[in-house]
């Protein structure tokens, strides 16, 4: 953890569960616990699991120029985001290539909180804010506890009035266990879930309270690596692990288009000019690869970096993989040559495994995305 400079208030909780607190985005993060990842995956898919995702970079942008700052820097029409609403957005460089994703929360007329991923979007925004009427506050006191799974709403409904009526990608200011929190109906699992933003001083009590009082519902603590299993099933990308920064092109600099990543939906239909926007539109139809799914034979998971072959040549590379004992399927996300990114295209996997496979559309789980947006 030589690079870690941010501290989770739950560090001792994670160590007690068997974590060595590996570095992620400068914060010691529980990549694994002593428990079985398959149990954690099953809990989130069938009951609920609690994760500490405080390593996400939470930044407040406040002032009369905050909206215009985010309007130019991101792919979304910020004027459509009202207080209490949030939106998933991407950020591009001038060449129209993906550099970061984020969730933008509007907390007031001129106030936003942006939860950044692992890219350099935060640094880009800080540079763009210079000379404008916008204050930038990196908020490491704010912790983010993610309660994900079909029973998450049942647990919270016992403690938070009106939580069942909170729509997908909306948030509210409330209390949990008599502690002030902001609860957002967001997450990174493909399930109905909630992120609970709280003060660092309150994080241990909220963590303990959810696990103690949620024991009867089967709620358990889940480590960060469980997200890899969930994201494979639910088509959730994780920069840079699915990107050309990790799997470079032979003859081009790193950088992927939204069309290649399948993230073009993040550009609002009403979006005007934004950084990289003109190049983004020009690059439509010029995909060099596509993110696509792979369904493997057998009951073993592939490994990142395993290659995909067809017609005597390499046609792709697996970026993340898992085997689900719930569905009995071995699945993966891959970067694939465009002609082979078609449902049912026959493939061979080489590397940690040597098995047959087929190309498969994404997401594997809940393809209509009904679970995460369910009502009631």
Q: Is 140 left (phi over 0), alpha (psi -120 to 50) or beta?
A: alpha
**Tell me: the pLDDT tens digits for 211-237?**
999 999 999 999 999 999 999 999 999
Q: For position 177, what pLDDT does the model report?
A: 98
Q: For position 6, what pLDDT does the model report?
A: 87
Distance in angstroms (rounded) separating the CA atoms of residues 260 and 293: 13
**Tell me: the pLDDT tens digits for 268-310?**
999 999 999 999 999 999 999 999 999 999 999 999 999 999 9
| pTM for this predicted structure | 0.96
Stretch 258-266: mean pLDDT: 98
Q: Quote the percentage of the chain above a pLDDT of 90.
A: 96
- The dihedrals phi and psi of 16, each to the nearest 5 degrees, come to -65, -25
* Crossing angle between the packed helical segments 121-129 and 66-73, to the nearest 10 degrees: 130
Detail the residues annotated as belonging to a binding site: 195
Distance in angstroms (rounded) separating the CA atoms of residues 61 and 44: 32
Contact, 212 vs 225, CB < 8 A?
no
- The dihedrals phi and psi of 71, each to the nearest 5 degrees, come to -65, -40
* Crossing angle between the packed helical segments 37-46 and 226-234, to the nearest 10 degrees: 50
Detail the residues annotated as belonging to a binding site for substrate: 195
Q: Is pLDDT at 75 greater than 60 in this prediction?
A: yes
Distance in angstroms (rounded) separating the CA atoms of residues 19 and 87: 32
Stretch 15-33: mean pLDDT: 94
Stretch 348-354: mean pLDDT: 98
Q: For position 317, what pLDDT does the model report?
A: 98
Name, in order, each residue with C-beta under 8 angstroms of 326's C-beta and a sequence gap of 6 or more. 41, 42, 45, 46
Q: What are the strands, taking DSSP E only, across the chain?
A: 22-24, 27-29, 49-52, 57-62, 86-92, 98-108, 111-116, 135-138, 142-148, 171-176, 179-184, 193-199, 220-221, 290-296, 307-310, 313-324, 329-336, 346-350, 355-360
Q: For position 4, what pLDDT does the model report?
A: 65
Contact, 308 vs 357, CB < 8 A?
yes
Q: For position 3, what pLDDT does the model report?
A: 64
């Amino acid at each position: 953890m030589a690079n870690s400079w941010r501290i989770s208030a739950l560090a001792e909780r994670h160590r007690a569960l068997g974590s060595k607190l590996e570095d992620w985005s400068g914060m010691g993060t529980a990549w694994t616990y002593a428990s079985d990842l398959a149990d954690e995956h099953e809990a989130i898919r069938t009951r609920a699991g609690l994760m500490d995702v405080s390593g996400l970079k939470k930044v407040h942008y406040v002032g009369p120029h905050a909206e215009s700052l985010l309007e130019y820097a991101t792919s979304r029409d910020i004027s459509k985001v009202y207080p209490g609403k949030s939106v998933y957005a991407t950020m591009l460089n001038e060449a129209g290539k993906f550099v970061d994703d984020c969730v933008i929360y509007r907390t007031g007329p001129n106030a936003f909180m942006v939860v950044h991923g692992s890219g350099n979007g935060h640094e880009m925004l800080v540079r763009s804010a210079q000379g404008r009427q916008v204050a930038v506050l990196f908020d490491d006191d704010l912790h983010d506890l993610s309660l994900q799974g079909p029973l998450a709403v049942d647990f919270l409904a016992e403690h938070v009035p009106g939580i069942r009526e909170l729509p997908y990608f909306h948030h509210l200011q409330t209390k949990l266990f008599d502690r002030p929190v902001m609860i957002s109906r967001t997450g990174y699992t493909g399930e109905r879930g909630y992120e609970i933003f709280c003060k660092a001083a309150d994080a241990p009590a909220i963590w303990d309270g959810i696990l103690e009082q949620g024991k009867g519902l089967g709620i358990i603590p889940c480590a960060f690596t469980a997200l890899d299993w969930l994201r494979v099933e639910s088509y959730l990308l994780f920069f840079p692990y699915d990107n050309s920064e990790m799997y470079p092109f032979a003859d081009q600099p790193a950088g992927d288009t939204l069309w290649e990543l399948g993230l073009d939906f993040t550009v609002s239909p009403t979006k005007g000019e934004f950084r990289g926007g003109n190049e983004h539109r020009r690059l439509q139809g010029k995909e060099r690869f596509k993110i696509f799914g792979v369904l493997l034979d057998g009951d073993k998971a592939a490994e990142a970096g395993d290659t995909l072959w067809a017609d005597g040549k390499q046609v792709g590379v697996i970026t993340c993989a898992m085997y689900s004992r719930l569905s009995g399927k071995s699945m993966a996300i891959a970067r694939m040559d465009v002609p082979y990114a078609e449902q049912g295209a026959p493939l061979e996997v080489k590397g940690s495994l040597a098995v047959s496979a087929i190309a498969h559309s994404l997401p594997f789980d809940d393809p209509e995305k009904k679970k995460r947006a369910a009502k009631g």
